[in-house]
Amino acid sequence: MTRKVIVTGTGLHTGVPVRVVLQAREGSVRFSSRGIEVALDELRVASTARATTVEARGLRVGTVEHVLAALGGLGVYDGVSIEIDGPEMPLLDGGAAAWCDAVRDLQVPCGRPRLRVTRHAVIEVGRSRYELSPSPAVEVDVRLEIDDPRISPDARWRGDAEDFHVRIAPARTFAFAHEVDDLLRQGLACHVNPASVVLIAPHAIHHTGRPFSPDEPARHKLLDLVGDIYLRGGPPLGRVSAVRPGHSSNARAFDQACAEGVLVSA
Cα gap 198→212, rounded to integer Å = 8
Show Cβ contacts of residue 174 under 8 Å, excluding neighbours closer than 6 positions. 197, 198, 199, 200, 216, 217, 220
**How far is residue 212's CA from residue 29's CA, in Å, rounded to a whole number?**
33
Distance from C-alpha of 246 to C-alpha of 228, rounded to nearest angstrom: 9
How far apart are alpha carbons 248 and 224 in whole angstroms?
11
Angle, helices 216-230/65-74, rounded to nearest 10 degrees: 80
114 close to 266: Cβ distance less than 8 angstroms: yes
Tell me which of 165, 207, 220, 247 is the catalytic residue. 247
Question: Which residues sit opposite 19 in a β-bridge?
Answer: 8, 85
Q: Which one-letter amino acid corresponds to residue 89?
A: M
> Taking a C-beta distance cutoff of 8 angstroms, is the pair 226, 69 a contact?
yes
Burial of 161 (0-12, 13-18, 19+ CB in 10 A): middle
* Residue 247 is a catalytic residue: yes
Q: Which positions are catalytic?
A: 247
